[in-house]
Structure 1
């Protein structure tokens, strides 16, 4: 999460710099699009290259004292591509102004295409000759800020998505959906578990479904290139290039064909796909009904035709296609407009036939603002043609609209623990209780580990405050100001409270750590651990408030002292020394708070699961989940909208809000404002006197 906190500012700065160069040149947005995306591709490739390079070299076998040379296969096995020295981003950034940057970039791209045949003719090359040498230099430097040098793939995924969308906004592309948010794709992969065979995305955009499928296999400690075969279809030639670049940068390849999936099945995968994943365009109403009416991919018939002989809404064409591509054991997961799950008339008829197959596995409602390019809510649909008999007459309805985190003011996603917990509900639905318990154990283990990591930061903050207090105490005594003396007393009292709380926390950490050593992944023991570790979460919450109060009190004390020291010309200690100590205290506080937040974060993740499913068995939770029978669905007009079944969640109390603490903080702020008001009044009075008023 720390890396994502500043992503909005980074995105805007990078885009602003790149777009300013375009605006001040003779290039149209569509001329600028592929060269810039090619540079982002290179920067992302270089980041992944560096991430695995040292481990690869360290693991190379030796014979006769000679270590084998690195190969591109070494990098492909680690989800990266091999970059020759002249294709590495640092080399390109470091080129002197006298160098021909366009030719250097062309050579870099050609070397990558030579090593990876799947990229032949895909990467931008000649496009760089359209850009002036100084413009390319600025672009290279712009896309190489310090924040990105150690960034993860998620950061680059966001930036990739942002640039795609921004270019679409300025007319560089057709504005289609290029990139499905990583957290939604991960939830899809977590539920359908694509661990073998043919993976199809008939609306593949920039290939995010394939990348996350590969990551799923990597988390199983397997090689995705050996287990998965990717098939994609995309109508836009430029987007196909982007998809192939996205696959390649992760060490993957796939068969991606140019096709309009409404009318074509370029891979001939009817009834052959093991997994289907997609985020198709929503609510398209221009599909030629005559051209598709006899399509074998429409086993439930057309969803409705308007007066212009067009399919009224293409949503159910996609839904039918996804279903038909699956083999008799296949699973599908896809994003769909929220309108589709309760659409009426001919669409309802198709939906009824689909539900009656017994292959609709789960429905997940997603709140708005998960996409850059659309703010409307959506739903995730899941099919499973190999559903066990006990689930054939039921559908899991999961309403995840109240589960999210804010990445920016406008963009939401799922935090890793939220993703894991939503997936765990599906495990319970499938009777996989041990996986659920292992996840709870993982959360609780992280709670204890995070608590242990707080020891040194707790001491560091205490030492920083003590140093600051020792510096300023003699000077305050010399000044003899009652208000300053009172502020010092408050700081010393808060320090005493902080130390007492820190001591209690440390004792609790030792007790919980000892208890944890005897815990196995059984529900009874994990429930006991969850109850015991609650005190760690409470201590961490209280210590965050105590540390914040310490810093506010010490800052107020220094600000007050600075005014008196200036007036009295007090030489010792200097304001510079005190500010240096305050900065040390603030850095210590930030480090501590970050650690303490993790304790409560992991405990709450475990508590969320244990509170809702105390028996480690699926049960109906208002506002969250319900196992719904086909009879219930039939009684509700065959609706597949989760909110229609799970009902409203009870209003949750914010147990992190401390009224007493809030009043103390307000008191501190108010006192400071009062002091400033007195000073300002004195200055105004003095000014009036100077004017003879």
Structure 2
């Protein structure tokens, strides 16, 4: 059955792409394969955005379409020639396609400091089937065409988000470490109504809370930038997913310069947030609580040192900035 979305998209579009991509997975684990697929989608996104701005510059009499500063001034990632999608797709049938993609990722990170250390760069590894990789490049390259056929807006953003959810489901329990189901995220955002201000997630996973918050703002007549995004993530791989997820949505965010555990290395000590969104690690039975008994963030009491499931205080105390106590939360 086809499910219509407010922006005109339908789930049949994303699902067909997922089925095609999943067929190319072979014997690779979903946890490993997601970085292959999502990295290519990101590469396609920034190349498309670059090309769209390049076409605009070609129409301007005094603009230089190969001037890096022209793109930085418009908040567009500069994509060097060897990293542009047209070049990548032309090399897709070659056995060296893995090396071509790795060089493209390295070039993008080199030219865009905010992406340093974020992009996957192991497409040339011997265990990755280069024939399947070439076919996957073609599939990602066809997303725009399939989107037009289905009437889908923001195709790359939608596909990235949808694939995150499907990879989380494929990974089972482990997938919950980087992805919270969209329906749960949407409910949380609707409850706190972040129209304007500073939004913080102390264990942000792949950044779904932030994406949904921006969608909420736009759905209520606001614009990108009405909220300021802050967060951090302890898993380095997931931190990189979040950086890509937000970049593909053109959402500026301060996720810290690296991955870090909120409990033991708070990267936003001076932040006074207006809204807190979090899906804390409830099932973590050994989270080091005995080392944090005197932590000033325990405004509503010290959570148990064994399993966080025993007390909701952990959710409230992750940031130390929430204004509602447990009783007030449930009363409201």
Q: How does 1:100-249 map to 2 (within 5 A)?
A: 100-130=96-126, 131-145=128-142, 146-148=145-147, 151-153=152-154, 155-171=155-171, 174-176=174-176, 177-178=178-179, 181=182, 184=186, 187=189, 191-195=193-197, 199-211=199-211, 216=217, 224=225, 230-249=229-248
Q: How does 1:450-599 map to 2 (within 5 A)?
A: none
Specify the alignment match of 2:254 in structure 1. 254
Secondary structure of 1:174's aligned partner = helix
Change (3 A) 1:132 1:290: closer
Instruction: State the Cα deviation string for residues 56-80 of structure 1 (Å, max 9, x = none).
Output: 655x5x5xxx334465565566564
Secondary structure of 2:310's aligned partner = coil
Given the alignment of the two structures, is residue 16 of structure 1 paired with residue 19 of structure 2, yes or no? yes
In structure 2, how many angstroms separate the alpha carbons of the residues matched to 1:83 and 1:67?
A: 17
In structure 1, how many angstroms separate the alpha carbons of the residues matched to 2:321 and 2:214?
A: 20
In structure 2, how many angstroms separate the alpha carbons of the residues matched to 1:315 and 1:290?
A: 17
Specify the alignment match of 1:298 in structure 2. 298
| Preserved contact between residue 29 and residue 171 of structure 1 (Cα < 8 Å) | yes
**Higher percent of residues as strand:** 1
Change (3 A) 1:281 1:255: closer
Structure 1: state its 5+ residue gaps: 327-331, 333-340, 342-349, 361-638, 642-693
In structure 1, how many angstroms separate the alpha carbons of the residues matched to 2:174 and 2:139?
A: 26
Q: Could you say what the CA RMSD is over the residues aligned between the two structures, in angstroms?
A: 4.0
Instruction: State the Cα deviation string for residues 372-430 of structure 1 (Å, max 9, x = none).
Output: xxxxxxxxxxxxxxxxxxxxxxxxxxxxxxxxxxxxxxxxxxxxxxxxxxxxxxxxxxx
Change (3 A) 1:164 1:314: farther
Once the 2 structures are TM-superposed, how far is the Cα of residue 123 of structure 1 from its aligned partner?
A: 0.9
**Higher percent of residues as helix:** 1
Specify the alignment match of 2:40 in structure 1. 39
In structure 2, how many angstroms separate the alpha carbons of the residues matched to 1:139 and 1:3?
A: 29
Q: Highest relative contact order (Cα 8 Å, sep 6+), 1 or 2?
A: 2
| Preserved contact between residue 92 and residue 104 of structure 1 (Cα < 8 Å) | yes
Secondary structure of 2:193's aligned partner = helix
Once the 2 structures are TM-superposed, how far is the Cα of residue 296 of structure 1 from its aligned partner?
A: 0.9
Secondary structure of 1:234's aligned partner = coil
**TM-score when normalising by structure 2:** 0.75
Larger radius of gyration: 1
Instruction: State the Cα deviation string for residues 502-534 of structure 1 (Å, max 9, x = none).
Output: xxxxxxxxxxxxxxxxxxxxxxxxxxxxxxxxx
Once the 2 structures are TM-superposed, how far is the Cα of residue 202 of structure 1 from its aligned partner?
A: 0.7
In structure 2, how many angstroms separate the alpha carbons of the residues matched to 1:178 and 1:93?
A: 30
| Preserved contact between residue 203 and residue 280 of structure 1 (Cα < 8 Å) | yes
Structure 2: state its 5+ residue gaps: none
Once the 2 structures are TM-superposed, how far is the Cα of residue 89 of structure 1 from its aligned partner?
A: 2.6
**TM-score when normalising by structure 1:** 0.39
| Preserved contact between residue 194 and residue 213 of structure 1 (Cα < 8 Å) | no
**Partner of residue 88 from structure 2, selected from 86, 92, 114:** 92
In structure 1, how many angstroms separate the alpha carbons of the residues matched to 2:67 and 2:96?
A: 29
Secondary structure of 1:296's aligned partner = coil
In structure 2, how many angstroms separate the alpha carbons of the residues matched to 1:190 and 1:53?
A: 40
